[in-house]
Structure 1
Amino acid sequence: MPPDIFISFAHVDDQPVANQQQGWITHFTNHLRNELNRRMGRKDNYHFWKDFRLQGNDAVTPEIEQQVTQANTLVILFSTGWMASPWCQRELELFQSSHPDLSKRIFVVELERVAMADKPVIMQDLLNYPFWRVTDKDRVRQLGFPVPQATDTDYFERLVDLSYDISATLKTLQTSTAQPAEPPKATVYVAPVDYPLYSQRSNLISELKQFGIAALPAANTPDPHIDANLAQCSHFVQLLDANYTMGIPCNQHFTAEVAKKPILQWRDPKLDYTGGHVPEEHRKLLEGKTVIAAPLSDFIRMVRDVVLPKPKLPEDDAPKVNGEKMVFVHASQDDFERAYQVAQALKARGYGIALPRYQGEPERIRKSIERGYLSCDVMLVLHQKAPADVVEDYLSEARVKTLQRETKLLILICQGDGAEELYFIPPGVLPLICHNNFDEHCLEQFLAEVEA
């Protein structure tokens, strides 16, 4: 039976260390088998081939040639030792020559960091999985070396990613007579990242995939085809940290701007980039108006809501003037100027608007706020400069008024980066992932919520 998976590795990488009975690669392949058994249903559902007898100076035998040319997928355990082995590279050549369609058939497991210029050209576009990390002193350490432990979270996260992608490819190949796969609902460009953001990028792509959103490029390596890939995508998505990485993130962003793609960027809200180690160009990128400082789960939800096309209603059921919704844009006097600008943007989109009046007698002010609570379908609270207790009072009053109404008042809140933390947030209040400006990007989030 031809193998579904052929493992290509250098014998030198499987030498036992520190009195261990088995080397790292043997442990790795055992773990990979276990994960694949779980994903494929049972071990009999696929055939796994690895030559444990192959020594460092052994040639590729006719048996190995037959196995690698007939295999459905090739897993390369990539290292300096692999590159130094002419037999390993021969296995790659044999697989290439016998498989005219290499799409998602080759998986590169990186055991160490290797400069892009030193890799075979074909590996620039392949699915790759870095099984290494960088220490604070810029030292590279192989994950799970010499023997993986249960606490090696990064090791097992990479292993799960690899097993998921291999099993998906095998299932597709095994069901070639079945109905063709359903095309994705949308495709986005998720910019390749440096090692520290690898897990976040993998999580983002995995979550989007569950909602029918495909991601390009498949490989997390510098993309030589960024222009062609961007042309196939509706949005540009970028994850950022404080690493300048030779200006690559800035270049990616510039390319997306030139291509006129809507841009969605993320950074950790706790990220410290104030030190002198961050170049000015990269600092400006981190502070851009399309950068969302929020938990990654919130950012993923926002990407999903923005990217997925909204279902079209029958013409008779199509909402008129945005459903004829009234929006109460509520803010304190400190934030009123911004609230007025937001209200004008919503009015231009066809919404009815209400604002608190802060001129005149207290009774006049109170009346305008009461009117907003009682007459509007949506309350959008802006919170940038106002003290937290003032905004908490607004939310408390809104909750009371909601309980008195026959129809529910939808409450959304848009907080700036420097806003004071709120300690009172009623259930059902929806946060918008905003920067300091309620720009077109934030407006799209608002529309996604109120027009759903």
Structure 2
Amino acid sequence: MPGDDPKPLAASTAGGDDTVDLFVSYAHADDEVPAGARKGWVTTLVGELRRVLRRKLGGSGAQVWMDHALAANQPLTATLRDRVSRSRTMLIVLSPGYVRSTWCQRELCDFVTAAQARGEAENIFVVELEPIDRDSQPSALPAPIRELVPIAFWERDGDDEPRLAGYPTPNADEYSPYWKLVNRLAGQLARRLERALPAAPAAGAVAAPLSQQTAAIFAGPDSITTEPAGIPQAHGLSLYLHAAPEDQPLAGAIADQLDAVGVMVLCPSPRPQQSFQECLLEHENALRQCRGMLLLNTGERIANLMSAWQLARRIFGACRAGPWSAALHLPPPGHPDLPIHNVLQVDCRNGFDIRALGPFLAALQADGNAHPSGFRHA
């Protein structure tokens, strides 16, 4: 979570229940983007961790929550504290910045308190970015945390300063220490999460059928596949996805396909008893992290879709050049296109084909490469 300069909200999955499998707690300074890299070190680690967890756990892997952008010095919101307390496990990215961060300590306290109330243990994992004398930090790290054995992502040559593995970006050598450490961490997390995740269906069991509307998206020979062909890899690109509550299964299916080409999808969904202000803040924070947005048009009231687009335009549309929003017109047929001239209209009424988004993703990626912040100032 936020260090002394907190960060915006970002979930790893579209839709899902209120429970998060893994909450990543870290200091803002440890995720600053270094020269020669496109993402911060922590963001890169979490992205690779998600991929390995999908392989080890099967299905969609684990729900990972990584907070990216609250305003500086803003207190923890009720929404974020609720997210922490509902998480099954926590990954602490331990560093001098983490130890000194008031926000990180409050976040850790909330998680420990909630876990103890549920009678849970063995649910905190520690990644160490450089040597930390944890016994000298009794006020920052509770005794149970100080006793945990961290996975050290650093090494030292002689008397040199410790060197962070995979910094500024991990190389492709499969035998490098970085990938071994990622695999070790994912293995520990997977073994812990397997005790909490729903069991796989027994052999011979029949999977629950897709709803008629969801199934219609995958109809036809050109339906999307696990490894979509003809789509540029867009690692580091984040998209905000607006979907009505009843369309969350569709949003999840589309998010999975975008994830296969390296696109992170943020799709906040309202939770029971969540106030309007908390819901709005969550959507605004998600938008601030994204480079573009997708609108799912399945016959939802046009006014609701227009309101979502206007919110996005207020957040970043006025200072962006080029395309930044697209509307996916999904089954059932008959509903009109959105009456917005500067939105890419993608007709998916006869089945969704992710290749139709290829030019849109390529344009967003090119714009982001030219303007690293993802925004072009007027």
**Larger RCO (CA within 8 A; separation ≥ 6):** 2
Using structure 2 for the length normalisation, give the TM-score: 0.44
Using structure 1 for the length normalisation, give the TM-score: 0.37
Point out the structure with the larger helix share: 1
Q: Which protein shows a greater Rg?
A: 1
